[in-house]
Amino acid sequence: MSGLEQRIQDAVRGQTQPTVTVLSSLLAVEDELGYIPKEAVEFVAGFSNATINDVWAVASFYPNFRFEPPAEHTVDVCWGASCHLVGAMSIFKSVLEVAGLDSEGDTLDKRLTVKFNSCLGACSQAPVMALDHHLAGRVNPESAAENVSRLLERDGHGP
Ligand code: FES
């Protein structure tokens, strides 16, 4: 068994909540790997007594699942109502500019994934962004851009 298959199986079998479903199993894999490889769809189907088509139907219904390995770093920009009201749009533009992207997605060198998030759970600190899942609140376009540059410089390369 490959290391990837082992991690998938451990994530799915390691669920401790009382009700284990196709969705909870996919979420466990996404938490472990940051994406849903096709091997996971196959394993979850067997594990849940579902067909591969059923599992794909669940996986593709939820926009937060990725089907490719994530980039090295992730930046989430909150797009929820509280953040929207205090300038999420300008934060998003500024982040895209530093990343060299036109819209959400991965940079070509796979060093950065930028995505919208509908609420990062820290509305009182709006506008909010998250850098590799660490929240940064009350950002402005300049500090947001600096945060992204710092994240990319951390391992010795510039943006
Ligand atoms: S709306 Fe942005 S953190 Fe909740």
Say which CATH number the domain at 112 has. 3.40.30.10
Q: How many domains in the chain?
A: 2
Same domain, 105 and 125: yes
Does residue 88 have its Cβ closer than 6 Å to ligand 1? no
Q: What is the pLDDT of residue 1?
A: 86
Q: What is the spatial distance between Cα 57 and Cα 124, in angstroms, rounded to a whole number?
A: 36
Q: Where are the alpha helices (DSSP H) in the chain?
A: 3-13, 22-33, 38-48, 52-61, 81-85, 88-99, 141-153
Question: 82 and 44, same structural domain?
Answer: no
Residue 68 lies in a domain: no
41 and 84 together in one domain: no
- Angstrom distance (rounded) from CA 63 to CA 154: 29
Query: What is the distance in A from the centroid of ligand 1 to the CA of 81?
Result: 7
Do 140 and 86 reside in the same domain of the chain? yes
Is 66 domain-assigned?
no
DSSP structure string for 6-29:
HHHHHHHHT--SS---HHHHHHHH
Amino acid 109: pLDDT: 93
Residues 78 and 144 in one domain: yes
Query: 39 with 87, same domain?
Result: no
48 and 90 share one domain: no
Query: By the 8 A CB rule, do 11 and 28 touch?
Result: yes
Question: How do residues 52-94 score in pLDDT, each as one tens digit?
Answer: 999 999 999 988 798 988 899 999 999 999 999 999 999 999 9
Let me know if residue 158 belongs to a domain: no
For residue 159, tell me if it sits in a domain: no
Residue with tokens 């992204």: 148
| Cβ within 8 Å of residue 157, ≥6 positions away | 111
Is 53 found in the same domain as 79? no
Residue 122: inside a domain: yes
Position with higher pLDDT, 159 vs 65: 65
Confidence of residue 156 (pLDDT cuts 50, 70, 90): low
Q: Classify residue 115: in a domain, yes or no.
A: yes
- Mean pLDDT, the chain, as a whole number? 93
Instruction: Give the Cα separation of 73 and 89 in Å (integer).
Output: 21
Q: State the average pLDDT over residues 42-59.
A: 97
What's the number of CA atoms in the CB half-sphere (13 Å) around residue 14?
A: 11
- The pLDDT assigned to 157 comes to 56
Cis before 18? omega within 30: no
Cβ count near 6 (within 10 Å): 10
Residue 141 lies in a domain: yes
Q: Are residues 13 and 53 in the same domain?
A: yes
33 lines ligand 1 (CB under 6 A): no
Q: Whole domain around residue 129: which residue ranges?
A: 73-153
Pocket test for ligand 1, best of 76, 77, 83, 135 (most atoms within 8 A of CB): 83
Atom 1 in ligand 1: which residue has the minimum CA distance? 80
pLDDT at site 117: 87
Can you tell me the distance from the alpha carbon of 158 to that of 80, in angstroms, rounded to the nearest whole number?
A: 30
Q: Given a cut of 80, is residue 101 above it in pLDDT? A: yes
